[in-house]
Amino acid sequence: MGDGRLAGREVPFPARLRRLLFLAFWFGGLALGAELLLIGHYEDPWQWVPLVLLAFGFLSGLGIWWRPGAVATRVFRGLMAVWVLSGVVGMALHLKGNAEFEREMVPSLGGIELIWESLRGATPVLAPGAMVQLGLLGWATTILHPRHKGGRA
């Protein structure tokens, strides 16, 4: 695939780039899923959301990898939008949890000091941003897809 050929035929640059983006998406998603399982990110229903979304995203991704089509691409894009939304919600939940913990520890804490301590808390506030990043990366794999709206994004 490095020389622009696939099974003896020339592969246009957008297709090669789409495949590379998809592989980066897959690797990142597998690593994120493994990390969430290793840290025990399944203690309450909210913590299951990224694991379930990762699973559905991969199943949908397999669909556009092996049998690309307009419907499969739309479903995948929809899931990627949900991944982005889940990452934003996850960051808010992490921040809220840290703020509640900080208020329990120091009830008088407030303002900028509370925000600062919450951002630096035990639960990594920016970690759910990985879902945002992967969702955007997954979406990028569908740009200029030849089977989606005549090849236009």
pLDDT single digits (tens) 15-42: 788 889 999 999 999 999 999 999 999 9
Q: How much is the pLDDT for 12?
A: 65
> Which residues is 116 bridged to in the sheet?
none
Q: What is the structure's pLDDT at 16?
A: 84
pLDDT, greater one: 66 or 39: 39
The distance in angstroms from the start CA to the end CA of the chain is 24
The tokens for 51 are 């694991």
Residue the block writes with tokens 């506030």? 125
54 token code pair? 């990762």
pLDDT at 2: 47
pLDDT at position 151: 45
Read off the pLDDT of each residue in 42-68 and give the average, rounded to a whole number: 92
pLDDT at res. 27: 95
DSSP structural state of residue 9: E
Q: Which residue has the tokens 């897959």?
A: 26
Q: 119, 98 in Cβ contact below 8 A?
A: yes
| Position 1 pLDDT exceeds 90 | no
Cα 118 to the chain's mean position, in Å?
23
pLDDT at 152: 45
Alpha carbon of residue 3 to chain centroid: 30
Q: How does the average pLDDT of the chain come out, rounded?
A: 88
**Does 54 have pLDDT greater than 60?**
yes
Q: Has residue 76 got a pLDDT over 70?
A: yes
* pLDDT-wise least confident of 19-28, 76-85, 138-147: 138-147
Amino acid at 153: A
